[in-house]
Each structure stands twice: as C-alpha cells, then as structure tokens.
Amino acid sequence: MSEQTKYLLDESRIPKHWYNIQADLPKALPPVLHPGTMQPVGPDDLAPLFPMALIMQEVSTEREIEIPEPVREVFRLWRPSPLFRAHRLEKALGTPAKIFYKYEGVSPAGSHKPNTAIPQAFYNKEAGVKRLSTETGAGQWGSSLAFAGTLFGLDVTVFQVRVSYDQKPYRRALMETYGARCLPSPSTETAFGRSVLAKDPKHPGSLGIAISEAVEIAAQREDTKYALGSVLNHVLLHQTIVGQEAMEQMAMADAYPDVIVGCTGGGSNFAGIAFPFIGAGLRGGAKPRIVAVEPAACPSLTRGRYAYDFGDTGHMTPLAKMHTLGSVFTPPGFHAGGLRYHGMAPLVSHLKELGLIEATAYHQTECFAAGVTFARAEGIVPAPEANHAVKGAIEEALRCKREGKAETILFNLCGHGHFDMQAYMDYSAGKLTDQKYDESELAMALAGLPSVPEPA
C-alpha cells in the first residue's frame, strides 16, 4: 500500500469561523487615513463603499469571526479543497523534503478568489445592495465576483484593465457567462476614466486606474457598493479558510510544515495559507518559516518602501501603511496579472516589518520553468501567479536536498492555468522575457509618495 496522495475533509468540516490575525498581533496595525483629512478613518467614512458588516470585519480584533451559514452552503460547491502530497515532484527533484500543496483551482472560477467573493456578495445582499462594482486585471477576481453575483442575485459591473480586456478575452467570457457586465478600463463611464482617456485615448489601463473607476461608480450610487479582491483586512480574513483547512489536513497526514510558501500580489492568497499558522506560532505553537514570493518585476515587499500610500491611481481611496512602489508606478506587463499591483496588503506589510515573514522575488521565466516541472510531475498546470509559489517551494526543496534535511514544505497552489495557456505557449516558444521595471520610474514614484503626519 502506497502513501496517501490526497487529504480530503468532509463538507461538514468547512471551517465555521474565519481566523483574524489582528487578535494575535504583538503590535497593532497602523490606522488607515482619510484621503482628505489625513486623519484615521472611522466606519462611517467607509460606508459609501462597503456594507457595515464588512467594515466591522475590517477593524475587528476578535480572533474568530463566524462564517454565515449561507456562505458555507455555497462553499460546499468546492470546499473543503484538497491537500496533496507531491510524491512525484519530490521524486523528480530527488529531495528528502516532504512537499504538500493545498489546491484552490478546484473552485468554479479556478482560483482562490471565490473564498472572499462569496461572503462579500452575501453581506452586500443582506444590506440591500443591488449592484457591485469592481476592477480586475487578468480576470481571476472579476470572474469570481461575477460567479458570486449570479448566486446571490446581484448585478456585477467589472472594470477590466484594457490591455487584458483586449488580449485575454476568455476570463471576460467567463464573467459574461455568469451574467456580469465587463467594461474596458479606462472607460467613458466615469469622470476619472474620461480624464485618463482625454490625455491618452489609447491608454492600456492599470489596476490602479480600474480601482478608481469602480470606486467612483460605487460612491455615486446608493444601490451600488464596491468590492475589492485583495489587500484589505476583511479580504485577507476570508482567505484564512484555506490555511485552517490545511492545518486540519496536515494533521491527517501526521505532519506540520517547517516552511510555508505563498505567492503575493495584493497579499490575500499568501495570507490565506499563512495567517492561521503564524497565529498558532504567536500563541505559543511551532513557528514555521513563512516565505512570500513576489514577481521581480513588481517587487513591493522586497524593493518597495513601507509608507502611507493610496490604493488607487486616482487617489480616491483611503491611505494605508504598506510596502508600496508608489501609486503612480506602472509595473511591466508580465503574465502573472494577479500579482501586478503597486502595493502590498497592510497586514502582510506589518508582519514583514515585525520580522514574522520573509520575502523573495523571482523572474517570470524561472517561474514558468518551475510550473512546467510541476505540471509534468503532478499533472496540474498552475496559473502564472501560482508558478511563483511553485518556484519558491522547489527552491526550498532543493535547499533541503543540498543540506540533507527532510523538512516539510507547504505551499498554496492558488489556481489552475487553463485560462493562461497563451502564456505557456509564449514560454515554450522562447518569447517570454524577464521584464525589468524602470529604476528611475520607481525612484520617481517613491519620491512622489504622499507626505502624511505620523499618527501618535
């Protein structure tokens, strides 16, 4: 009898609470500031954008926040997601390490994003909201919110970065199949979009611009709220279901990670797999090494400044203290669109400052090479974003091989690459390059960071 490959939990064991790391932080998170007054925002300041239930989660310091039963009911469509032991990858690498991966590609949208799209749609529906507006890059988040919208009967409007809208029509088709409306951003629907188009009618768009457009629409209409797919505390909170399940599944495998690896764009996927384990360590349990992997072409954690900055290009959002490349920084157009954001989640940034996590950056061709190695060994073709975690995990496994250590490595495979085969075609044709950002542009973007009074 061979060793087990896959660790499954019954749907009755979908967690009943999200884990809120704010309860266990040795030092509280710096407050978020109002873009007009530069003073800490209160719940009412955020009310035009979010329903109060989500605002309360944003600022909560309760350790456990209950997952509503209608949300768990939808999660049953794909949760609990499987945890795999990567026997074949271990063999291919010749490593003494044990590699485990949690797989979030089993969701209907193919990524971890529905974990927060579903509760966000639920709380908005409960609050009487009729329509959600949001932004998306490659479309993982937009398609997940479209999926959530159809299940809860909400209209969803998605501003998709124009270059992705034009070049990657398949996730847009997924959004439209779920009944959402998808617009290329910058668009003529918003004042901010029109102002960008006035300067450059062929502007390719960016996540920062699309966020400004989605926020503008939500702020103007009583029946419309805004939904964000990463960065914010409540979004990271919703993803902790991933790490909580993984903890139970690792126990089934009679194992505990020595190292946890996650890819980081805005930070929600990384938080999902890592926070429950970090929290257990903060409460006196084992302390695995926690490794955040980001793209070298958009390296907020490894090259950004820890400072107050806007979440969007139009400077409509509150300011948060985070690792940032500057809200006007435009990352090169690499394939992992989900990691292409100037800032890092305040909670992830805070943990980095506290020395509780490590960060490293890789270029996209080495990440695709890792993804192909993984696909040929384990069968699953990872999304370009997930390839960064695969690369990080393989590097740890090869270190274990060099050092002769049988460590246990856990990573989150946050989505499948079935919508991203053009990127694999470009990779195998040798057409992918390792874009570098412009150092002088980064310096300028950092020099332009807003100056805010340091709160007492």
In contact, 117 and 206? CB cutoff 8 Å:
no
* Max CA pair span of the chain: 67
Query: 3-state DSSP call for residue 344?
Result: coil
91 burial level (CB within 10 Å; 0-12, 13-18, 19+): exposed
CB of 93 to a copy of itself, least distance (A): 15
Question: Which CB atom, from 13 or from 17, has the smaller least distance to a copy of itself?
Answer: 13
Q: Identify the DSSP state of 113.
A: T
Give 42-78 as a 3 state SS string.
CHHHHCCCCCHHHHHHHHCCCCEEECCHHHHHHHCCC
Given the complex with a copy of itself, which of 179 and 333 has the nearer CB atom?
179
- Minimal distance in Å, beta carbon 261 to a copy of itself? 21
Task: State which residue, 418 or 436, has the beta carbon closest to a copy of itself.
Answer: 418
The CB-of-241 to a copy of itself minimum distance in angstroms stands at: 16
Nearest approach, Cβ of 34 to a copy of itself (angstroms)?
38
Q: What is the closest distance, in whole angstroms, from the C-beta atom of residue 99 to a copy of itself in the complex?
A: 14
Axis crossing angle, helix 268-282 with helix 233-252, rounded to the nearest 10: 60
> Which contiguous run of DSSP H or E holds residue 133?
strand 131-136
Neighbours of 190 (CB within 10 A): 23
| Shortest reach from residue 10's CB to a copy of itself, in Å | 7
For a copy of itself, the closer CB: 229 or 331: 229
Pairing of strands 17-19, 64-66: antiparallel
Question: Of 118 and 301, which has the nearer Cβ to a copy of itself?
Answer: 118
CB atoms within 10 A of CB 94: 9
Q: Closer CB to a copy of itself, residue 45 or residue 378?
A: 378
Nearest distance in Å: CB 414, a copy of itself: 16
Q: Which amino acid is it at 405?
A: K
CB of 12 to a copy of itself, least distance (A): 8
Distances (CA, A) of 413 to 105, 143, 218, 286: 7, 18, 32, 23
**In terms of CB distance, is 78 or 256 closer to a copy of itself?**
78
- Position of tokens 């003529």? 188
Cα(first)–Cα(last) distance of the chain, in Å?
62
Coil, strand, or helix at residue 225?
A: strand
Shortest Cβ 110–a copy of itself spacing (Å): 6
Nearer to a copy of itself, 61 or 167 (CB): 167
Instruction: With residue 101 as reference, give the H or E element that holds it.
Output: strand 98-103
By beta-carbon proximity to a copy of itself, the closer residue of 42 and 153 is 153
Which H or E element spans position 177? helix 169-177
Query: Residue 32: is it exposed, middle or buried by C-beta count within 10 angstroms (0-12/13-18/19+)?
Result: buried
CA distance 382 to 412: 11
Contact footprint for a copy of itself (CB under 8 A): 2, 4-6, 8, 10-11, 69, 73, 76-78, 84, 88, 106, 108-110, 147, 150-151, 169-171, 173-174, 176-179, 372, 375-381, 416, 418-419, 421-422, 424-425, 428
Nearer to a copy of itself, 286 or 421 (CB): 421
Q: How far is the CB of 380 from a copy of itself (least distance, A)?
A: 5
Minimum distance from residue 176 beta carbon to a copy of itself (Å)? 6
- CA torsion through residues 79, 83, 88, 90, sign: positive
**Nearer to a copy of itself among residue 367 and residue 449 (C-beta):** 367
Measured CA to CA, the distance from residue 102 to residue 247 in angstroms comes to: 10
